[in-house]
C-alpha cells in the first residue's frame, strides 16, 4: 500500500517550498538594538556581542545608515552614560546621551525608520537596579513610576517615535501614558516589555551597558519567574488596558509558548526580543565551527515569527537583513 498523503510533493523544489511557506521573514521584521556611549572618541567593541559596539554619535549614524539601507524596520536605542547616580537622573536629562543621540538620529532619518528608546533606569543608576531604592535596598515601585514619566517625556521631546519601558514596575504603562499625554505627546507609541522574565540570558547586555547590580543583587523581585506561564497573560493584558500599543515577550527562544499565548489572546501588535545571550550563544557556537550560525539565526528568527510575533528585536538585524537581501 502506498501512503495516501504525500506531503513531500510540496517540498520538491525551492519555488514550491517558498510558495506554500506559512511564515515569512524579511528585514522589515527586525528592530536592531544599538548602544551609544557618552564621551567616547572611538566605538568600543563589546566582546560578548561580536559585531556590536558602544557607539560614538558618528559610528551610530553610520550603523543606522547601513541598517536603513538593508531595509530593517527600526532601531532601539540604549544610552551608556559617563556618570551614574542613585536616581538614574541621566535617563531624563535633556543633555543625557540617549536624548542627544535621539535628537541627532531624528535630524538625519526623520520618520524613514522607526526610532525607539528603551525606557529604564538601570543604565543610569549607581546600584544597577531598574528603579529607585528604599532604605532597605528594595525597589520602590511608585517612586520609580514618576521617574519613568519624566524619562518618557524627555525621550519624546528628543524625537523618539516609540518609548519602550523595560523596568517591569507595576503600573508603568499607565504612568507613562499619562505623562506623555499631559505633555502633549499623544502620538508617541508605547511598546511595553509586557512579559519580561528574570533571565540568565541578559549577561552580554550588561557588559554592553556597563551595568552591575550592587551587592550581587538580581531582578527577581520585579521581572517574571520563568516557571510561570499564565502570569504573562495577566501582565500583558494589564499593559494593554493601561494603553500599551505594542507588547513584547522577552527573551524569545525560551518563551515561545508565551509568544503563542499572547498572539492567541491579544489583538495588538506583538514582538519578541531575541536577547543578548541568545545571540551570543549562536555566535559562540558558530565561531567554534559547531553550527552554521546564519542558518541557525534564520531558523530561530523564523521560529519567533511562527510562534506569532509580528517583529523581532535582534542583534542579528543587520547581518541577517543583508543575508536575506542577497
Ligand atoms: C533593562 C534591560 C535589559 C535588557 C534590555 N533592557 C537588562 C535587564 O533587564 O537586566 C536586556 C537585553 C538583552 O539582553 O539583550 N533596561
Res. 3: pLDDT tops 90: no
118 CB under 6 A from ligand 1?
A: yes
Measured CA to CA in angstroms, residue 32 lies from 126, 176, 260, 308 at distances of 26, 23, 22, 19
Are 182 and 236 spatial neighbours (Cβ–Cβ below 8 Å)? no
196 is catalytic: yes
Give me the count of residues in the chain: 326
Tell me the per-residue pLDDT of 102-156, one tens digit each, with 9 for 90 and over: 999 999 999 999 999 999 999 999 999 999 999 999 999 999 999 999 999 999 9
122 CB under 6 A from ligand 1?
A: yes
64 CB under 6 A from ligand 1?
A: no
* Position in ligand 1 atom list of the atom nearest CA 313: 15
Question: Residue 298 C-alpha to ligand 1 middle, in angstroms?
Answer: 22
pLDDT in the model for residue 4: 85
The protein residue with its alpha carbon nearest to ligand 1, atom 14, reads: 202
The protein residue with its alpha carbon nearest to ligand 1, atom 5, reads: 166
Tell me the per-residue pLDDT of 23-73, one tens digit each, with 9 for 90 and over: 999 999 999 999 999 999 999 999 999 999 999 999 999 999 999 999 999
Domains by residue range for the chain, with CATH? 3-214+245-324 (3.20.20.70)
Is the pTM higher than 0.85? yes
- Outline where DSSP puts E strands in the chain: 30-37, 44-45, 53-55, 74-80, 114-119, 162-165, 189-196, 246-250, 270-274, 311-314
- Outline where DSSP puts E strands in 166-314: 189-196, 246-250, 270-274, 311-314
Question: Residue 97 C-alpha to ligand 1 middle, in angstroms?
Answer: 18
Question: Residue 26 C-alpha to ligand 1 middle, in angstroms?
Answer: 24
Enter the C-alpha cell of residue 186.
499623544
132 CB under 6 A from ligand 1?
A: no
Enter the C-alpha cell of residue 144.
520609580
Tell me the per-residue pLDDT of 264-314, one tens digit each, with 9 for 90 and over: 999 999 999 999 999 999 999 999 999 999 999 999 999 999 999 999 999
pLDDT in the model for residue 216: 86
Amino acid at each position: 500500500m502506498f501512503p495516501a498523503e504525500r506531503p513531500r510533493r510540496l517540498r520538491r523544489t525551492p519555488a514550491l517550498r517558498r510558495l506554500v511557506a506559512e511564515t515569512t521573514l524579511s528585514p522589515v521584521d527586525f528592530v536592531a538594538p544599538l548602544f551609544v556611549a557618552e564621551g567616547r572618541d572611538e566605538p568600543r567593541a563589546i566582546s560578548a556581542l561580536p559585531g556590536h559596539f558602544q557607539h560614538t554619535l558618528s559610528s551610530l549614524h553610520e550603523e543606522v545608515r547601513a541598517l536603513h539601507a538593508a531595509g530593517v524596520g527600526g532601531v532601539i536605542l540604549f544610552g551608556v552614560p559617563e556618570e551614574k547616580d542613585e536616581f538614574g537622573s541621566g535617563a531624563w536629562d535633556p543633555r543625557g546621551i540617549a536624548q542627544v543621540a535621539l535628537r541627532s538620529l531624528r535630524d538625519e532619518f526623520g520618520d524613514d525608520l522607526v526610532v525607539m528608546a528603551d525606557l529604564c533606569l538601570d543604565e543610569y543608576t549607581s546600584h544597577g537596579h531598574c528603579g529607585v531604592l528604599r532604605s532597605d535596598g528594595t525597589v520602590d515601585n511608585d517612586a520609580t513610576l514618576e521617574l519613568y514619566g519624566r524619562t518618557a517625556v524627555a525621550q519624546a521631546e528628543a524625537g523618539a517615535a516609540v518609548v519602550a519601558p523595560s523596568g517591569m514596575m507595576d503600573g508603568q504603562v499607565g504612568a507613562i501614558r499619562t505623562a506623555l499625554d499631559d505633555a502633549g505627546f499623544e502620538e508617541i507609541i508605547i511598546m511595553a516589555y509586557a512579559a519580561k522574565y528574570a533571565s540568565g540570558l541578559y549577561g552580554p547586555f550588561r557588559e554592553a551597558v556597563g551595568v552591575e547590580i550592587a551587592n550581587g543583587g538580581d531582578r527577581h523581585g520585579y521581572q517574571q519567574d520563568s516557571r510561570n506561564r499564565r502570569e504573562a497573560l495577566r501582565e500583558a493584558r494589564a499593559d494593554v488596558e493601561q494603553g500599551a500599543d505594542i507588547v513584547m515577550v522577552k527573551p524569545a527562544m525560551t518563551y515561545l509558548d508565551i509568544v503563542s499565548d499572547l498572539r492567541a489572546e491579544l489583538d495588538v501588535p506583538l514582538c519578541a526580543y531575541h536577547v543578548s545571550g541568545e545571540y551570543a550563544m549562536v555566535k559562540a557556537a558558530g565561531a567554534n565551527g559547531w553550527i552554521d550560525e546564519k542558518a541557525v539565526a534564520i531558523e530561530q528568527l523564523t521560529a519567533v515569527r511562527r510562534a506569532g510575533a509580528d517583529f523581532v528585536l535582534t542583534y542579528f538585524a543587520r547581518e541577517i537583513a543583508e543575508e536575506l537581501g542577497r
